[in-house]
Amino acid sequence: MKYILLVHHNEDNFAMLPESEQREMREESVLLANQIHANGQYRDAAPLQPTSSTTCVRVREGQPVVTDGPYVETREHLGGYYLVDVRNLDEAIGIAARIPGARLGAVEIRPLVDLPGLPKI
């Protein structure tokens, strides 16, 4: 079963960490991705740029409305994701608990819908 693990945290808290600790967390994230890849559970992962680089598109009355900034104003934002293919929710929880960003915020686990007709990569 495929799950997306959405890493939410306060990007200001991450930015206030010493550069060495930020680097360690990134290295730990890469190590985790390589470990779950070796187990055949990895599909994709990436950190996201800061919310200051966000652009939102809404369609109103058939026209796109483009705004800068995150979708909602909140303390915690989506900071990155892991896409995994595991046997069950327990395995997804086990991986989510190892994501460094979970120490700063939370990891939301969402099962993917297998939608027929989508292209496969």
pTM: 0.86
Closest CA to 41 of 80, 79, 98: 98
The pLDDT of residue 35 is 97
What is the mean pLDDT of each successive set of 10 residues along the chain, which is 121 residues long?
Answer: 94 91 96 97 94 88 87 75 97 96 93 91 73
Which domains are present in the chain? Answer: 2-46+75-111 (3.30.70.1060)
User: For residues 45, 93, 13 and 67, what is the CA-based torsion angle, rounded to 10 degrees?
Assistant: 60
Question: What is the predicted pLDDT for the residue at 45?
Answer: 96
Among all chains, which residue has been given the structure tokens 């779950």?
36
pLDDT of residue 50: 87
What is the tens place of the pLDDT at every residue in 63-78? 999 988 766 666 678 8
> Would you state the pLDDT for residue 76?
73
pLDDT of residue 41: 97
Q: Which of 4, 75, 85 is nearest to 46 (CA)?
A: 4
Q: What is the pLDDT of residue 71?
A: 64
Residue 42 forms beta bridges with which residues? 84
pLDDT value at position 58? 87
Q: What is the pLDDT of residue 56?
A: 85
